[in-house]
Structure 1
Amino acid sequence: MTQATDHPTAAAEGDRLPPIDVPAMRASARRLLSGDAGDPAPDEVPVMISTLRGHLELITPVVERVAALKPDDDRGWTVPVNCAIIAAADTRRTMRVETPSGRESAVRHARRLARRLNAMCDHFQTLVSDHPETSDQPGEHPEV
């Protein structure tokens, strides 16, 4: 069973954020990125792209909002916050790209979205940790 979080850091500030189901998001990305994944069936590509976009549309603004809630005077958060903000901007640029025609191009685009989703999950999990030094390494986070 997957878990979601209500983001206690954000809630403490009176800013309710939607729950983020990181394990489900990572599972969606893994379908395209695992070494033995292979190419999806032609009819699966649009569904996968739609799912990845939906996850990115949910997590990207949450990452931006949680980053904005971090204290400016805590130098330990400077790098993680700035990296998350830059990653969110990169994700938004990737999301503006229309799905290309042609199966191979569409699969490449879906994989780009999957990599962006993994990055946003990494940033999210870092930002909701107690402190950047106590967070796990990217890609090796426990379920949040």
Structure 2
Amino acid sequence: MTHRTGTTPVTAGVESPPDIATMRDAINRLLDPEAVPEAPPLEAEELETLTLQLRGHLDLLMPEVEEAAQRLPKDNIPRYCALACLGEARGKLREQPSPTPHGPVAYGRRLARVLNALCDHYEALSGCP
């Protein structure tokens, strides 16, 4: 769990910070396949696994972003934006893929986009690059 004192992140206990690089790799697998040129197109089973991975990343990152945002003053714009993004993420997690042929990949991309935004908020709020 990461705590901030002023602008310097402080890690409490033995928990390590979220692995943003791994999260971004999963995001890129869906949103920017050229970023992983050696990766073949996703098969249905791989897409399902990747979607579950994205959901897991969201479950891990959302509390971190919320905690960091809650420490900011109530009238702080980055706080407001991060909390709005959290609401969007919660909505995406409640959704199900459309039964259309492109439904699962579209759903995975929606999760990837909201995870990407939360990664940006986490980095901004925690002072991590």
User: TM-score higher than 0.5 here?
Assistant: yes
1:7 aligns with 2:2: yes
Q: CA deviation at 1:19?
A: 2.2
Q: Distance in 1 between matches of 2:81 and 2:27?
A: 21
1:98 aligns with 2:77: no
Q: Which residue number corresponds to residue 70 of structure 2?
A: 68
Q: Which runs of 4+ in 1 moved over 6 A?
A: 14-17
| Cα distance change of structure 1 residues 97 and 127 upon mapping to structure 2, 3 Å threshold | same
Q: Could you give the per-residue CA deviations for residues 76-106 of structure 1, whole angstroms, max 9, x where no partner exists?
A: xx11111000000011001100233344110
| Cα distance change of structure 1 residues 7 and 111 upon mapping to structure 2, 3 Å threshold | same
Q: Could you give the per-residue CA deviations for residues 110-137 of structure 1, whole angstroms, max 9, x where no partner exists?
A: 00000011000000000012xxxxxxxx
Q: Contact 2:68/2:125 (CA < 8 Å) preserved in 1?
A: yes
Q: List alignment gaps of at least 5 residues for structure 2.
A: none
Q: Which residue number corresponds to residue 41 of structure 1?
A: 43
Q: Distance in 2 between matches of 1:33 and 1:83?
A: 22
- Give the counterpart letter for 1:124 in structure 2: Y
**Identity in percent:** 31
RMSD: 2.8
Q: Distance in 1 between matches of 2:3 and 2:67?
A: 13
What secondary structure sits across from 1:19 in the alignment? coil
Q: Contact 1:32/1:39 (CA < 8 Å) preserved in 2?
A: no
Q: Distance in 2 between matches of 1:50 and 1:18?
A: 22
Q: Which residue number corresponds to residue 88 of structure 1?
A: 86
- Tell me the TM-score normalised to structure 2 length: 0.80
Q: Which residue number corresponds to residue 53 of structure 1?
A: 55
What secondary structure sits across from 1:9 in the alignment? strand
How many residue pairs match? The answer is 121
- Tell me the TM-score normalised to structure 1 length: 0.72
| Cα distance change of structure 1 residues 15 and 101 upon mapping to structure 2, 3 Å threshold | farther
Q: Contact 1:39/1:107 (CA < 8 Å) preserved in 2?
A: no
